[in-house]
Structure 1
Amino acid sequence: MPAAFAIPGDIATVTGGFIYERRLLEGLRAEGREVAHLRLGAGFPEPTPAEMADAVAQMAAVAPDVPLIVDGLVFGAVETAGLSTVRAPVVAMIHHPLALEAGLDAARRRLLFARERDNLALAAHVVVNSAHTAEVLVRDYGVPPVRISQAPPGVDRPDGPAVPSVPPLVLSVGIRHPRKGHDVLLQALVRIGDLDWQAVVVGSDYHAGHAAELDALRRALGLEARVQFAGLVPEAELGRLYRAATVFALASRYEGYGMAFAEALVHGLPVVACRAGAVPDTVPETAGLLVPPEDPGAFAAALRALIEDEGRRATFARGAAQAGARLPHWSDTVAVMSAVLDRLAAR
């Protein structure tokens, strides 16, 4: 049965959410399903009035017998009155509630919470990326569990063997956004300056102001020679970095899932991360060390433990590889959404 998928901005954007939705769209089409891609404004979740009006118009034009998947950046921010005009059965694709984003003021957080709560009441079904996100929606947003399906992101397996670099490489992958905690990582790395290591942070600039703050912090800490902000890199180069890394480190303040952690696991990398959001679900205790968020000292101690102790590092590497082997393929993710669409179409 046909479907439609409303996604804001450029679907080729290299962030976890966009990668997820691009692979989902491609997978649904590959199984023979006709899926219309509604290209909405790039301003979501803070759209201009014109982008809001266009989004509502495009979604309202979808036929009432065609299920409509709506990306979470749109779903949580679109005006409820506008969403209520949509005749198609709506599938909300929620990566994490927008009100849980870092850096919001109290008024904006309250607005996003109320709007997403009210919009969820209009959804025919909700697809989430993790058990953690499902739990949050049930507990805090009043979504009945029967209306939620979990479709964790798939993960591609490595295309070559590990080739560890010398000195040890600390790899971090995540856009330069306050939620990703790169400032915490820098403050942790300076605390282990007596050890031999190099670090690469891969990810585009999401907030120009925050990126400038990170550059200034790296300079102030004297880490310019040891920490590289690589920006966006080609897929082949990212794979090479994963295979060359010794430790994967990302100090996220919150994650609805954390696709970069899954990539690290399938590459058998021991992980240092924060016990925040869905991270403990994605990264089991056998695969690395989780510390409290916003604690550079604890993060540094965990990095030191893995860099200094080769035996402990090897144990966590084995645990990571075992956890990675259990992670889903993209075909599994697509199968969950496909089943949801078929059930809605059958109604």
Structure 2
Amino acid sequence: MSTVFVVPAGDAPSGGHVYDERLARAMAAAGRPLRTVAVPGDWPRPDSAARARLAGLLAGLPDRSTVLLDGLVACGVPEVVVPHAGRLRTVVLVHLPLADETGLDPGLARDLDEREGRVLRAAAEAVATSAWAAADVAARHGVDRVHAVPPGVDPAPPSPGTDGSSRLLCVASLTPRKGHDVLLDALALVRGPAWSCECVGPFGDPGLVAALRSRAGSLPVRFAGARAGLALQASYAAADLVVLPSRGETYGMVVTEALARAVPVVATAVGGVPEALGRDPFGRRPGLLVAPEDPAALGDALRRWLTDATLRERLRDSARLRRLDLTGWKEAARAMAAVLDREVSR
């Protein structure tokens, strides 16, 4: 019997959506298919109709079935998920702890954190997307069955870039957690050689998008919106440097997507980002890490990239070597299968 994989409905090109879709494809290719079921709803705070749909789905599964639940769907509704935990083998995949979304009301964050803890403590196993995230989830919820299954990355040709330095690329949804405001403040501090920055990612709250456009002012920054497929590949191909100014990341798939193309990265040292960035065989990082929410530090890193040719060559050389050491979705599928096999054997 194939494992049922419950995911939120929708096709927005978020990291969680890409992870779920690519994992399912890799599992099928490895001979361990997942039966993916997309559940509509405003997760993690769905209305009664969405909760009823999820409850009906779980109730319809035979006893002792294995079900892999995306945490965005499962972790906000313990009243739906926990009653089935004794009857089903539930594995919960946490892309981002619910309370860690930037800008939440403190009371709501506490409520979501409590709900998530109830779901994870009742689950047979939990999965996070990096070793850092697994340790964080285990500590915050008192759960000792949290496994790390980092995302894979698809092979890609090295990016030719533009002129080797001036084209900056930020690939991230326009949400507060991704730190576009910090990036714009940092770019405003950069003086010297000419540069341009393309921000690729789905637009969120229209008010936030308008505020970011206003903040950018006359800076050579373009908000390109969501891109996928060949259009996204073209953005990476033109990039000399990828910038990720996030306030929080459990892993940072954009980092490995850049490195797969031998493009260096400047990013904030949050969560699993240092793990994703990694080091080359000589112990060098293929990018620069700075403190989060620090425009001056980020601006200084960008200035160094733009003005120091020796630094650029070292980072490019390190990125070329790190590219060869990245793992693909086949390895992610193998790691997830090991968790599911462990679950079945209990």
Match of 1:250 among 231, 239, 244: 244
Conserved in 2, the CA contact under 8 Å of 1:69 and 1:90?
yes
SS at 1:249 equivalent: strand
TM-score by length of 2: 0.93
The 1-side partners of 2:70 and 2:12 are apart by 14
Conserved in 2, the CA contact under 8 Å of 1:75 and 1:119?
yes
Aligned to 2:303: 304
* Change over 3 Å in CA distance of 1:128–1:312 after alignment to 2: same
Match of 2:173 among 175, 185, 188: 175
The 2-side partners of 1:122 and 1:276 are apart by 29
The 2-side partners of 1:6 and 1:75 are apart by 9
Conserved in 1, the CA contact under 8 Å of 2:174 and 2:203?
yes
Equivalence map 1:175-214=2 (5 Å)? 175-214=173-212
- In the alignment, residue 246 of structure 1 is paired with which amino acid? D
- In the alignment, residue 91 of structure 1 is paired with which amino acid? V
Equivalence map 1:1-347=2 (5 Å)? 1-10=1-10, 12-78=11-77, 80-86=78-84, 87-144=87-144, 147-159=145-157, 161-166=158-163, 168-219=166-217, 222-223=218-219, 226-284=220-278, 286-347=285-346
Q: Which moved more, 1:201-210 or 1:33-42?
A: 33-42
The 1-side partners of 2:277 and 2:32 are apart by 34
- The one-character-per-residue Cα deviations of 1:179-213 (angstroms, maximum 9, x if unpaired) are 00011111111111542111101101132322222
The 2-side partners of 1:130 and 1:261 are apart by 13
Gaps of 5+ in 2: 279-283
1:218 is displaced (CA, Å) by 1.6
The 2-side partners of 1:162 and 1:283 are apart by 17
Identity %: 36
Conserved in 2, the CA contact under 8 Å of 1:60 and 1:88?
no
Conserved in 1, the CA contact under 8 Å of 2:30 and 2:330?
no
The 1-side partners of 2:33 and 2:268 are apart by 40
The 1-side partners of 2:256 and 2:20 are apart by 16
- In the alignment, residue 161 of structure 2 is paired with which amino acid? P
The 1-side partners of 2:132 and 2:115 are apart by 20
CA RMSD of aligned residues (A): 1.7
Aligned to 2:281: none
The 2-side partners of 1:30 and 1:271 are apart by 31
The 1-side partners of 2:319 and 2:131 are apart by 20
SS at 1:45 equivalent: coil
TM-score by length of 1: 0.92
1:227 is displaced (CA, Å) by 0.8
1:136 is displaced (CA, Å) by 0.5
Count of aligned positions: 338
- In the alignment, residue 195 of structure 1 is paired with which amino acid? P
- In the alignment, residue 315 of structure 2 is paired with which amino acid? F
Conserved in 2, the CA contact under 8 Å of 1:149 and 1:336?
no
The 2-side partners of 1:193 and 1:298 are apart by 14
The 2-side partners of 1:58 and 1:209 are apart by 36
The 1-side partners of 2:176 and 2:113 are apart by 20
- The one-character-per-residue Cα deviations of 1:252-294 (angstroms, maximum 9, x if unpaired) are 0000000001111222222111121111222246122111111
Q: Which moved more, 1:244-253 or 1:187-196?
A: 187-196
1:34 is displaced (CA, Å) by 4.6
1:234 is displaced (CA, Å) by 3.5
The 1-side partners of 2:128 and 2:202 are apart by 25
- The one-character-per-residue Cα deviations of 1:303-340 (angstroms, maximum 9, x if unpaired) are 00011111101111222232332221000001111222
The 2-side partners of 1:52 and 1:71 are apart by 14
- In the alignment, residue 292 of structure 1 is paired with which amino acid? A
Q: Which moved more, 1:296-305 or 1:241-250?
A: 241-250
SS at 2:76 equivalent: coil
